[in-house]
Structure formats: C-alpha cells, structure tokens
Amino acid sequence: MLAAPQVHGPELTHDDVMTTRPPSPSPPRPGLSWDASGLLLGAVYALPAAVLVFNDVSRGLALAVGTIPAAVAGLAPTRRARRKTAVLGVFVGVPILLGSALAAVPWLAVVALFFLAIGAVVLARRSGPLGMVVLNLGVPMVAVGFSYDDIGTGATLALVMVAGSAYACLVSLLWPESPVPTESAQPHASPPPLAYGVRLGLAGATAAAIGFGLDLDHVGWACVAALIVMRPSAEMQELRSVGRLLSVLAGALVGVAVARTEPPTIVYAVVILAAVAVLAATRASRWYITPAFTTLLVFLLLLYADPASAPHRLNERVAETAVGVGLAYLFGLVLPRLAAHWRGADRPAAADRAL
C-alpha cells in the first residue's frame, strides 16, 4: 500500500477550475453565497473519505483533499457536461507530478516555473478557456509538487487527485439535470497580456527560490500563495490577498484546535464531511474562503499523528502564505503601478522635447 502523501491541497475558487456552465447575465456574486444542493453533493463527495478514516486517518484525509477540485467546480447543468469533472484530476495531478520531479533539481524548478507561467499566458491568449485552466490551475499545481522531492509521494498525490475527481464525476451523474443558463450577451474577459505572464512567473519563481534556498519543509506553500492570489485585475487580486490570509489563518486555527484535543476517529469523519460539504455549498462566493476548508484538512493531515508540532506548523503556514501574498502584491500591483507612473511622468518630457 502506498503511504498517504503529506499534502497541502489545491486551494482554488470556482473561477480557477474548468467550469462547464456558460456565463449568465446575472448580477455580481454575493460576498457569501449558499447552495443547499451543493451542500448535499459535497457531503456525498466526501463520504468515502469519511468512511476511510476509520481504517486509516491519513488516507481518509488525503482522499478528502482529492475531492476538492470537483467540489469547487460545482455541478454542471447537463450530465454530458459533468463528465468533464473527471478531467479536473488530470489538470491537478499531472502538474503536481511534474513539480515533484522538478523539485529534485531546485534551480531547474525555479527556472521552469518562470517559463511555465509565461507559456500558460501565451496558451491562454491563443486557445482561450483551455489556456485559462492551465494558467489558473495547472501552473499553481506545479508549485504544489515542489513540496515533495520524492517523486513517489508526488505520484501518490497525483493518483489521489485523479481518483477523487473520477469518483466525483460518477456521483454528479446521479443528480438530475437542470436548464442550461442562457448565454450572456456580455463579451468574455480578454486574456491577460504577456507582461502579466512575466510578472506571474517572477512572483512564483522568487517564492520558489526562497523556499528552496531556506530549505523550507513545504516549498510550495509560499509559491502557491503567490501564483493563486495574483490576477490581472487589481481589484480581484486585492480581494483574494486579504481573503487568503484570513482564510488560511482561520482554517489553520480550527485545525490546530481539533488536532490538539486528539479526538476520536469519528470527529475526523465529521470534519471531513462538513468541510467538503460547506466548501461545495459556498463555492460561488465572491469572498475567497476556499483556503479555510483546504487548510483545515491539511492541518489535520499534518497534525493528527503529531499534535505537539501545531505551533510550528501554524507559524510556518501563516508566514509562508504571507510571503507568497507579499510577492504577488509586489509583482502584481506595486510594479505595474510604478511602471504606469513612470510612463506618465515621461510623457510631458517627451512632449517638451518635441516642441
């Protein structure tokens, strides 16, 4: 039997994954939304993991993490469209495996992440939705793999993600179909500029270089934070930055509180069911709260066998998240604003020279 990987999980929103619903002309999403059907669906997704913990807590928690991409993606209106849910595991698992292989050669991992980010933006500009999935999902998952220089552990985690998404796909087919929303007349958002890919690559590569250079236990934590927070829209990035910091802190504190009590196995089962179910029910929220649920599951996975390490893990997680968010702020917000300011300052001088 393969050992359960020590994962930190794909922390995504429904904007990050391969959504199958067409856009609708609905008003902006509420800060916190609730979907009762999603709550039930998420609980069914988590059921095998909740049962598995009675046999092996670590494997049960790892399997719960494997259902996260499907829980975040939500339920497509038609069964035919729901089959794409199974593909999510591939978009998560394969990049994690790639990152795990690259982690054996740190300098190569840093360089590769920089160019992967640029390549993903080029792909997004040429192929649209597929490229955006690679950009928002695939590239951050490569950084997840940096936490495992043992390719066997990376392969195990990749298989967990594929298995979780495949099971979620089968479950989703049991749900009744619903009317397909009307296509929006509003234009789709334009793909990000190439300059954004360069800045994204620099943010991720810098975080990875810091992680490898300091020999951190989880190189991917700061790196993923930088990649998954950074967005072409300044407003969206600011919202995600605050949301990630608060959500990670909240999830970590709850995870520490649960693990330090050394609870019976049934508590882990209940927490798994609740975390995945509530995540699925609130997936459409505008507030970035997904990391609270994934961090909770990750902390239970890290601490259930070693509750005494809770203070170290808490400090590590929060500090590395802050580093990643800070790098995203630098490369995603500060540098573009400085560049715009310099361009604005240069225009009058150029005009004077012309006169």
**How confident is the model over 66-94, as pLDDT tens digits?**
888 889 988 888 988 888 888 888 888 89
Whether 33 contacts 282, CB under 8 Å: yes
With CA atoms as reference, report the closest residue to 16 among 308, 203, 230: 230
Angle at 297 between CA 292 and CA 301, to 5 degrees: 145
State residue 1's pLDDT score.
37
Instruction: Quote the pLDDT of residue 123.
Output: 93
The proportion of the chain whose per-residue pLDDT surpasses 70, expressed as a percent, equals 86
Rg of the chain over all Cα atoms, to the nearest angstrom: 20
Q: Are 7 and 65 a contacting pair, CB within 8 Å?
A: yes
37-65 per-position pLDDT tens digit? 899 999 999 999 999 999 999 889 989 98
Average pLDDT over residues 209-225: 94
User: pTM of the predicted model, to two decimals?
Assistant: 0.84
Lowest mean pLDDT among 40-54, 98-112, 189-203, 318-332: 189-203
Question: What pLDDT shows up at residue 3?
Answer: 46
| Banded model confidence at residue 325, pLDDT cuts 50, 70, 90 | very high
Cα 355 to Cα 333: distance, rounded to the nearest angstrom: 34
Close Cβ partners of 214 (under 8 Å, ≥ 6 residues apart): none
